[in-house]
A and B are shown apart, each in its own frame.
Chain A
Amino acid sequence: MIASSVLKDVLHKALSTGADYAEVFVERTKHKQISMVDRKIGEITDLTIAGVGIRIFKGTRSVCGSTSSWDPADLLRCAGQVADALNDAPNLQTIHLHERLFGDIHPIRIVPATVENSRKIELLKEAEAAARGFDPVISQVAARIMDFDHQIQLATSEGLLTQDRQIRTRIVCSAIASKNGENQTGTCSPGRRMGLEMFDTILPADVGIRAARQAVTMIDAGYIPAGKMPVAIENGFGGVIFHEACGHSLEATSVAVGQSQFCGKLGQQIANTKVTAIDDGTIPNAWGSINVDDEGTPARRNVLIENGILKSYMVDKLNGRRMGMASTGNCRRESYEFEPTSRMTNTFIAPGQDKNEDIIRSIEYGLYAKEMGGGSVNPITGQFNFAVNEGYIIRNGEICEPVRGASLIGKGSDVLMDIDMVGSDLATGQGMCGSSSGSIPVDVGQPLIRVSSITVGGR
């Protein structure tokens, strides 16, 4: 990507006002998206993102700059601007860049950028046609197929020089059911850190059918009455509850500056003893996996909570300095334009011992949340919310009629204690997680779980 002699000059410039650490992050990403609506391919976009992010530390102070130029003169100018924020004596350390390659545990058989549009269009149309054909009430289908080829190069004043290439593929299908002047939607959007071989195991038609089934189910559903009740949350994307209710509050971004409800709780019980939660960036070809993080630390499997006890936060280098802890390989950024910080990778609640039928049978009146939508959290207050895209009333231990318009809200520290049954069938779902360092791919996951009581928003 950029010659190591240039990177070395840029690092020296960045250290010229007394920083004790400097880092250069180089990115070149190719992104393609093909979209269809009204049964026709409507938009195709190609995008090349290229730029450089330069960051320095002095103790726990951080300064970051970026430029969308690779010109050595522009890089030196950007390093100079970053350095200008400090005004101490220059750090004259000699930098020797030694290249280190951490290996790639995510084999790619079909690099999407080398495949012609027509093959991707075939895959997209399979999903679209399956959704359309599912039921006559499906009035519209919007679908898109995306691929990303994200190449990064990192050089640090500690002498590390490394590279990684992250290839991802995703298909998104949204179906709309219309009846009596009302619309309801259903969406399915699987993705992998894979090339087009992803579609050997994830059939586009299944994606379309899943989206359509959800829209058709919800068009005939009534609204859920509001109130507090027990909720059974299905596996897969259901894991967004842990991601929002707890995951973000365990990121050093919040913890290091006292902005998390889990500050100072290491070794303490913060969740029900049935809960073990893990963030694992090393799962081969998973959507949220990385080989190295965006600071050059190899990805790891971190047990966050073990049988209810808080074991680890997710830590990046800068916040690690603030906390006196080492990086856990969780530093991520959407692109060179963002300041990187601690983020999740693939985060899930580990399988437990409860049987699915026992979980449903245990609920006299409550909600079965089969498909979840996205959510958000404020790590400071711990208040989270997320949407239920497909829900059903549970009555006397049986799953009954579908209900729409439900959202679940609560406080992270409360809901973790209230997860009192955990099934054994772990599955994951894919999402784009937004936070201060941008939008990044993450997996969420869990088996079927029961939350003994939670506020359900409805009408």
Chain B
Amino acid sequence: MTYSEFKQAVMANAAAQGLEEYDLFYSESNAASAVMLKQGIRSYLTNASRGACFRCIYHGKPGYAATELFTAEQAEELVAAAMENAASIESDDQVFIHGVGDTYRQLAEKSLRTPTGAQLIEKATDTLNACFAASDRLTDASEAEVEYLQTKVALCNSKGLDLQAENACSTLVAGAIVNEGEDAYIGVDYTCDDFDALQPEQLAKKAVDQVLSKIGADSVESGKYTVVISNETMCSLLATYCGVFSAAQMQRGLSLLKDKEGTAIASPLVTLVDDPFYADSLVQMPFDHEGVAAYTKKVIDNGIFQTPLHNLTTAAKAGCKSTGNGAKGGYAAPVGIAPFTFYIAKGEGGDLAQMLEQAHDGLYITSLDGLHAGANAISGDFSLLAGGYRITDGKRGSAVHNITISGNFFDLLREICLIGDDLRLSQPSGFTCFGSPCVMVKNMSIAGK
């Protein structure tokens, strides 16, 4: 069955079961990727996947069921399973099927070209060749990867809402490896853009410069350091902790920001924005996964906590309006909460060189590993493997690896003492993308030698 046939079958079954409030969320993705090694192609992969999730309100409770199989039998099972699941729900949280009436922002038409397999392989090959051309010290294992991803989501419901949005993005990754004796060093950089705008040479040079600068990296003495956290690294820290801004987490007592609206939770230098239409972001969304119109809002304004991110359920509980952040972590997941392009606004610290000059002595942190395990969003604590460079006399010095950086995210927000203007965006995931300039924090705990 096509999706349109399946949709009709599900909606008809729901009505036949006497359901009055329900929706069907659909997601489709088409992806292709190529990974090149010096020895030739490592892998070439194409994916076409689609899935649909039915949600109903049955005796006041929500029920969900999802499938990738679009058959008449599944269209019946989906409705029956969702009703059975709803019957076991105990939570008193109200769930809403959103009606028509919102004004949705029209997105500019983009005519993005879908690259062919041969073009993907060519782009990856160009990137790999550019890496090897940039230095003769790279080992055979260096690789380059290019990926094209096109996504579509659609939402229709019993109140007549029928929305859809499409996005497309290409990502190019250059990886450069140098082996020196028993040690291996890696430089990796990525760029997300329209396929035709990807620049293999530029990216390759960045990855190669990075790996060459890391050769001979060592550890530092354990102690307290002034650190400049790179823009990219700050994006991954923000991604790890973004759940603390969710009203659902606050209402469950799982975020320490509960009841902190209107109070200072960060340094006055920090402004944190959620923007579904951020100009540089490749993912733009006019509506959230409940069909509520998306809009731009400040979550932290000069250090003051303005608003948590809400969906319709948490907003009803808090007695406010949804912030249009209802989000499913995958088509089959229940509606939760997520930001769109979520970024720390640029500060007065200037570019990286100016930030390092201001720091004068300390560490410039360019990588954090183990965020899924060593960072806890409920306590805010983190203790993470880190790498980067010394900052010596206001300049980037020798490379540092095998250290840990430890602290607490909420303390870190308060202790940011300078923010740069080199805002960078992370790779998008779903409709979410993170952004930050580099930031300076004093007295961070570092474990090394």
Q: Which residues of A contact B (CB under 8 A)?
A: 28, 34, 36-38, 40-51, 60-70, 78, 81-82, 84-85, 117-118, 121, 139-140, 142, 176, 178, 181-185, 223, 226-228, 257-259, 261, 337, 339, 373-376, 378, 380-387, 404-407, 409-411, 413, 434, 455-459
Contacts and interface: CB of A to CB of B under 8 A. Distances in A.
B404 interface: yes
B88 A64 contact: no
Contacts of B383: 387, 405-407, 457-458
A46 B81 CA distance: 7
18 contacts: A40-B91, A44-B85, A45-B65, A46-B81, A50-B68, A62-B43, A68-B68, A182-B256, A184-B379, A381-B401, A405-B383, A407-B374, A407-B404, A409-B402, A413-B182, A455-B402, A457-B383, A457-B406
A387 B67 contact: no
A383 B143 CA distance: 19
B262 to A, nearest CB: 17
B50 A374 contact: no
A376 B117 contact: no
Nearest to A44: B85
Main secondary structure of the interface of A (DSSP, over half): strand
Contacts of A38: 91, 252
Contact of B90 (A41, A60, A140, A410): A41
Contacts of A121: 88
Nearest to B84: A117
B376 interface: yes
Contacts of A385: 369-370, 373-374, 384-385, 404
A28 B350 CA distance: 54
Given A68-B51, A386-B374, A85 B404 contact: no
A217 to B, nearest CB: 13
For the complex of A and B, list the 6 residue pairs with the smallest distance between their C-beta atoms, beginning with the closest.
A457-B404, A226-B447, A374-B373, A385-B385, A44-B85, A407-B383
Given A48-B68, A85-B44, A458 B370 contact: no
B49 A68 contact: yes
B160 interface: no
B405 interface: yes
B177 interface: yes
A46 B66 contact: yes
Interface of B: 37, 39-51, 62-70, 74, 77, 81-82, 84-93, 117, 121, 139-141, 143, 177, 182-186, 219, 222, 252-254, 256, 332-334, 369-370, 372-374, 376, 378-381, 383-385, 401-407, 445-449
A383 B402 contact: yes
Contacts of B92: 40
A376 B404 contact: no
A48 B40 contact: no
Contact of B401 (A41, A259, A383): A383
A376 B369 contact: yes
Interface centre among B184, B219, B446 (most CB of A within 10 A): B184
B186 A380 contact: yes
B406 A65 contact: no
A404 to B, nearest CB: 7
Contact of B69 (A48, A61, A375): A48
A320 to B, nearest CB: 15
A406 B370 CA distance: 12
A369 B186 CA distance: 30
A409 B253 contact: no
A47 B332 contact: yes
Given A51-B68, A378-B369, A381-B184, 13 more contacts: A38-B91, A44-B89, A45-B332, A60-B39, A64-B44, A81-B117, A181-B256, A223-B406, A380-B186, A381-B185, A381-B186, A386-B370, A456-B404
B91 A41 contact: yes
Nearest to A322: B39
B211 to A, nearest CB: 11
A259 B117 contact: no
Contacts of A78: 46, 48
B374 A49 contact: no
Contact of A48 (B47, B66, B374): B66
A248 to B, nearest CB: 13
A384 B66 CA distance: 37
Nearest to B93: A42
B253 A139 contact: yes
Nearest to A226: B447
Contacts of A82: 46
A69 B30 CA distance: 13
A68 B407 CA distance: 44
B42 A257 contact: yes
B360 to A, nearest CB: 23
A268 B115 CA distance: 46
A214 to B, nearest CB: 12
A389 B94 CA distance: 35
A51 B68 CA distance: 8
Contacts of A375: 370, 373-374
B177 A45 contact: no
Contact of A46 (B40, B64, B182, B403): B64
B88 A44 contact: yes
Contacts of B87: 117
A121 B378 CA distance: 25
A333 B232 CA distance: 30
Given A42-B91, A45-B333, A407-B374, A140 B45 contact: no
Contacts of A182: 256, 379
